[in-house]
């Protein structure tokens, strides 16, 4: 590993370790079931959680570096048992820089019924661009989970998929974006559950879903100041 790559890996080890704290902070995980990974930009490498280590004991040094076939390149522990699924997503979706997996309760309750979450909330249109889809049932080990994630997400704008009878996988341009999608997915799943428990939620017109998604993805949030933008141009 040359020194530039080693520096990138060091930073990603710290980032990925820290982001696991968001999974516990938002109540998305029980025991050690849930994981975050990040692609090392421009390299066929990823940084991922070690298997079976308590969240309180996760540090930059305990993270595991794997190649995109899931083989360990650097690290003392075995990687997460979901490593093959993360690796498959990175191989198949070059634009993805981060992957998250949880069994967060409300979202996984929809997965248990094999039911996608219809778009009943503007916040869902913003983040997910429509329904949060269900992926196929797949056993752990091998590429079946990865294939199910990729085949489902490539047909939807959603960065989250509810794998049937299992849980949530999310993707993002980086690990933080994938964690955000996992947090928002659980929030949407909870509100959608409550809304339907009280009656029949109202759909949002597809054109309005499109408009909300477009605005949120392209306009909302902090924009770089004009000077920063100018500095970024040659
Ligand atoms: Zn799982």
Q: What is the pLDDT of residues 163-174, one digit of tens each?
A: 999 999 999 999
Which tokens is 131 given?
């329904």
Distance between Cα 169 and ligand 1 center (Å): 9
Which of 96, 100, 84 lies closest to 146 in space, CA to CA? 84
Distance between Cα 5 and ligand 1 center (Å): 30
Distance between Cα 104 and ligand 1 center (Å): 10
Query: What would the pLDDT profile of 122-146 be if each residue is shown by its tens digit?
Result: 999 999 999 999 999 999 888 999 9
Which tokens is 63 given?
């993270």
Distance between Cα 82 and ligand 1 center (Å): 7
Give the number of other CB atoms < 10 A from CB of residue 26.
16
Band (pLDDT 50/70/90 cuts) for residue 212 is: very high
Beta strands in 75-216 (DSSP E): 98-102, 134-135, 160-163, 167-172
Total count of residues recorded for the chain: 234
What is the pTM for the complete model shown? 0.93
Beta strands in the chain (DSSP E): 34-39, 45-48, 64-67, 72-74, 98-102, 134-135, 160-163, 167-172
Q: Are 107 and 165 in contact (CB under 8 A)?
A: no
Distance between Cα 73 and ligand 1 center (Å): 23
Band (pLDDT 50/70/90 cuts) for residue 224 is: low
Query: What would the pLDDT profile of 41-97 be if each residue is shown by its tens digit?
Result: 999 999 999 999 999 999 999 999 999 999 999 999 999 999 999 999 999 999 999
Distance between Cα 218 and ligand 1 center (Å): 32
Distance CA 174, CA 180 (A): 10
- For residue 142, the model assigns a pLDDT of 86
């Amino acid at each position: 590993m040359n020194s530039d790559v080693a520096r990138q890996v060091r930073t990603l080890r710290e980032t990925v370790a820290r982001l696991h704290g968001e999974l516990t902070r938002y109540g998305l995980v029980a025991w050690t079931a849930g994981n975050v990974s990040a692609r090392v930009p421009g390299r066929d490498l990823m940084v991922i959680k070690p298997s079976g280590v308590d969240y309180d004991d996760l540090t930059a040094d305990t993270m595991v570096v794997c190649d995109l076939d899931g083989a360990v390149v650097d690290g003392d522990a075995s990687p997460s048992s979901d490593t093959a699924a993360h690796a498959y997503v990175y191989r198949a979706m070059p634009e993805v820089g981060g992957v998250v997996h949880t069994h967060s309760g409300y979202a996984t309750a929809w997965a248990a019924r094999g039911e996608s979450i219809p778009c009943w909330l503007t916040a869902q249109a913003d983040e997910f661009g429509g329904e949060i889809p269900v992926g196929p049932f797949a056993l752990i080990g091998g590429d079946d989970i990865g294939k199910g994630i990729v085949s489902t997400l490539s047909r939807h704008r959603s960065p989250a998929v509810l794998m049937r009878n299992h849980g949530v996988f999310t993707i993002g341009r980086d690990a933080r974006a994938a964690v955000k999608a996992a947090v928002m997915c659980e929030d949407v799943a909870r509100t959608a559950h409550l809304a339907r428990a009280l009656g029949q939620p109202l759909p949002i017109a597809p054109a309005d879903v499109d408009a909300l998604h477009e605005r949120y993805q392209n306009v909302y949030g902090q924009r770089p100041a004009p000077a920063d933008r100018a500095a970024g141009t040659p």
